């Protein structure tokens, strides 16, 4: 009877850093307990096995704030109110013609032609009162929220410049004799002054920003 010898297979342990186990020459790092050591990734970042981060990345980015320009709008509303008051008051001393009468006369002259309107001089009250109405509308628009109001400020600046010319010309023609004019004319002079202040306020006020976390 043939005697059979049972032999147990010999299992050689893998020694850490054994180059024969890793032909390519790359050996894993081992921890204190003999197991492979894994580098701990940053919090919320990718791990050693390429796991997906659990915490999203956030980057602060400035956001333009939509807002109303209350001060500029108020100044333009006051300019429109001054033009409205000048309609019921006389413009010239010794005459009972109010601003509304001068405005109607200017419209009649404009129907006959621009040359007639300029020759009679009634373009001045027509321009001032018309500018006051436009500034009133622009002032209401400035109260609406927007990122910036520079376009409305530029438009108000042009309108106020036309109104300023309409009150400076009669002053120059009267040789700066202030006694020639009555209370209605001084309310008309307030139209370009308030309009220019409101226009500059809207032009010089830039955007306002606030930081808000936004997911990239």
Q: Cα–Cα distance between 9 and 58 in angstroms, integer?
A: 58
Question: What pLDDT does 133 receive?
Answer: 95
Sign of CA pseudo-dihedral 156, 173, 90, 103: negative
Is 50 exceeded by the pLDDT of residue 44?
no
Predicted confidence at residue 16, as pLDDT, reads 53
Q: What is the pLDDT of residue 113?
A: 85
| 0.75 surpassed by pTM | no
SS3 110: helix
More confident residue, 28 or 145: 145
**Is pLDDT above 70 for 154?**
yes
What average pLDDT score do residues 136-140 get? 96
Cα dihedral value 47, 50, 54, 58, nearest 10: 90
Rounded to whole angstroms, the Cα distance separating 28 from 73 reads: 72
Q: Can you name the residues that pair with 63 across neighbouring β-strands?
A: 210
Q: How far apart are CA 131 and CA 195, in angstroms?
A: 9
Q: What is the pLDDT of residues 80-126, one digit of tens each?
A: 999 999 999 999 988 888 899 999 999 988 888 888 888 888 899 99
Residues 6+ apart with CB under 8 A from 138: 76, 152, 155, 156, 159
Question: pLDDT tens-digit profile of 59-86?
Answer: 556 565 567 889 999 999 999 999 999 9
């Amino acid at each position: 009877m043939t005697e059979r010898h049972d032999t147990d297979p010999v299992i050689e342990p893998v020694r850490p850093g054994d180059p024969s186990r890793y032909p390519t020459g790359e050996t894993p790092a081992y921890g204190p307990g003999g197991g492979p050591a894994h580098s701990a990734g940053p919090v919320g970042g990718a791990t050693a096995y390429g796991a997906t981060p659990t915490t999203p990345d956030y980057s602060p980015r400035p956001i333009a704030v939509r807002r109303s320009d209350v001060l500029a709008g108020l100044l333009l509303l006051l300019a429109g109110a001054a033009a409205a008051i000048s309609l019921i008051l006389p413009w010239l001393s010794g005459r009972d013609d109010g601003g509304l009468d001068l405005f109607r006369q200017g419209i009649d002259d404009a129907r006959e032609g621009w040359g007639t309107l300029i020759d009679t001089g009634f373009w001045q009250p027509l321009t001032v009162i018309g500018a006051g109405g436009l500034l009133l509308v622009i002032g209401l628009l400035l109260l609406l929220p927007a990122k910036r109001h520079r376009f409305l400020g530029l438009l108000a600046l042009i309108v106020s410049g036309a109104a300023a010319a309409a009150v400076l010309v009669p002053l120059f023609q009267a040789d700066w004799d202030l006694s020639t004019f009555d209370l209605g004319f001084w309310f008309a002079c307030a139209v370009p002054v308030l309009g220019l202040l409101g226009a500059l306020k809207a032009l010089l006020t830039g955007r306002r920003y606030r930081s808000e976390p936004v997911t990239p």
